[in-house]
Amino acid sequence: MGHTLVIDSIEAAGRSFAGGSTLAIAPVLKKFMVHFRRPSSYQGEYGFDWLRDEYIYPIKTVTHNNSGSPLTGKTPFCMDVGALKTEYKTTDVVNPISPYGKDYYPAWLSIFPHTTTAQFAHGSRMHRFGVTLDLEIEEIETLSSDATKITFESGNRNLIVTPSEINLQTLLGSKQTKSLGGSLTRTYYHSSGKVNIKSKDAPLAAHTEIKVFAQLGSQKEEVGKLMVYKNDVIPKAEIVVVNVITGSTSASLRSDYQFLFKNQSFNQALIRAEVTTDTNFDLTALSSNSDVAAFLSGYSSMSAETIRSAIETLYLKYGTHKPSVGGIDDSTNKKTYLFYTDISAGTINGICSLDIPTMTWGNHYVIFNSGLSSKRTVIHECGHSFSLPHVFSASLSPFDFYQGYTDNYMDYTWQRGSPSPSGGYYSSGDNKYKGKMYSLFKWQWPIIRSDRSLILTY
């Protein structure tokens, strides 16, 4: 609210005020920023990404670098801080902003458009109710419960924000302060489930912004933004699932693997992933063939890569659902093959084919006995087949992270420690997100969407 001031005689700006007059003092719009955040219950139901503080600030401890050398003190999880900041601040961002001179990194959302077939042939009911997000108010100046409103302005009439405005005072609950390393801190208020975003009646033909304004009386400032990924092209991934039987019993893959493909992983990149074939490849029934017999008698001493290669070769020769032309890893093949088996391959849960000379990921992968029950393994190895490298791979990933510190599907469930005599690395502890690694970063979405195996016309 405004305030009044009782004054003695004063003359200013060509106006005179007698003693005892009152002057109305208009309230001043305080400085703050608004960020969109996903709810804590998130399990990959839609795409949502933002620049986490721990990726760019020395907040957390990293035990070893990716060469296995010990580190001391706290360090950002990403080794390319400057490049990562630029990626989130400007890449694909419509009208980048710097409220009050502060760097602003908008969050990204990806959702399927809810349409009729007549409106858009590749619409979906998946996000027909929209998605509900949290809001974070970052305090620049001390905030108070005044009449400030936050308003949302969508850049497309088919991108609906509900509600269209919120009173700031309803978002000022418990104030929190977070250390960003050294003397830097961030003061903020977090509110759960405050805004719903829905894409309906027509797809978004371009990345679209939702602007956030702070308004108090006639004062209005842009203080935030949500970027929504274009959804007018929905690639299709066709997955062939093959149970490779090598003995009297067969492997059992976790029963929800189709749900994982469709609802908790590649949907984040707006890909329609569908299991088109679920079949058996019974090698025991083919054991009269010398190459099959040699594999069955020798796989226990083979490496994971040798087993993978052998299964690929045998399936191309004897498999029922092999590609009609060429090999599984050829560019002409538009299907992804998931082979699973109860064969053990030491500590390796799964492996994807990779052409080393060209560093090109293949179109098939194998899940071994130890990975059959793992959600992450099903998606992690498939991610490789869709051209995604590890997030800690300096030679392949656009951004290099320390191993075992993110919730990304393409990270590992353990933190890299010191080198082991066998040529690998010891673990220095579990990834804190182990069992909850559902994320694909926004910069990974176009990598997946450009994979050669995806179908654009269907």
Least Cα distance to 257 among 381, 110, 134, 107 occurs for: 381
Same domain? 246 vs 382: yes
Q: Which residue has the tokens 């099959």?
A: 292
**Phi and psi at residue 139, to the nearest 5°:** -80, 125
Distance CA 100, CA 103 (A): 9
Domain of 292: which CATH number?
3.40.390
pLDDT digits (tens, 9 = 90+) for 331-382: 999 999 999 999 999 999 999 999 999 999 999 999 999 999 999 999 999 9
Q: Report the pLDDT value the prediction gives residue 413, as an integer from 0 to 100.
A: 98
pLDDT digits (tens, 9 = 90+) for 189-235: 999 999 999 999 999 999 999 999 999 999 999 999 999 999 999 99
Same domain? 254 vs 169: no
Same domain? 257 vs 282: yes
Position 376 in a domain: yes
Q: How confident is the model at residue 12 (pLDDT cuts 50, 70, 90)?
A: low
Containing domain of residue 177, as a range? 32-50+106-228
Q: At which of 228, 252, 267 does a domain end?
A: 228
Same domain? 255 vs 345: yes
Beta pairing, strands 335-340 & 360-367: parallel
Same domain? 386 vs 251: yes
Same domain? 223 vs 326: no
The mean pLDDT value for 308-328 works out to 98
Distance CA 378, CA 338 (A): 9
Helical H segments across 237-374, by residue range: 257-263, 290-298, 304-318
> Over 80: is that where the pLDDT of 19 sits?
no
Give me the DSSP letters along 388-407.
---TT-TTT-SS-B-TT-S-
> What are the start-end ranges of the E strands in 295-334?
none
> Over 90: is that where the pLDDT of 5 sits?
no
Beta pairing, strands 236-245 & 335-340: parallel
Tokens of residue 200, six digits: 């309906």
Q: What is the mean pLDDT of the chain?
A: 95
Q: Are 332 and 304 in contact (CB under 8 A)?
A: no
Q: Is 92 left (phi over 0), alpha (psi -120 to 50) or beta?
A: left
Read off the amino acid at residue 30.
K
The mean pLDDT value for 389-402 works out to 97
pTM of the model: 0.93
pLDDT digits (tens, 9 = 90+) for 52-62: 999 999 999 99
Same domain? 218 vs 138: yes
Q: Report the pLDDT value the prediction gives residue 387, as an integer from 0 to 100.
A: 98
Position 357 in a domain: yes
Position 24 in a domain: yes
- Overall domain count for the chain: 3
Position 407 in a domain: no
Position 326 in a domain: yes
Position 370 in a domain: yes
Same domain? 258 vs 375: yes
Same domain? 194 vs 250: no
Same domain? 212 vs 270: no
> Over 90: is that where the pLDDT of 3 sits?
no
Q: Is 359 left (phi over 0), alpha (psi -120 to 50) or beta?
A: left
Q: Are 331 and 315 in contact (CB under 8 A)?
A: no
Same domain? 196 vs 266: no
Q: Report the pLDDT value the prediction gives residue 6, as an integer from 0 to 100.
A: 52
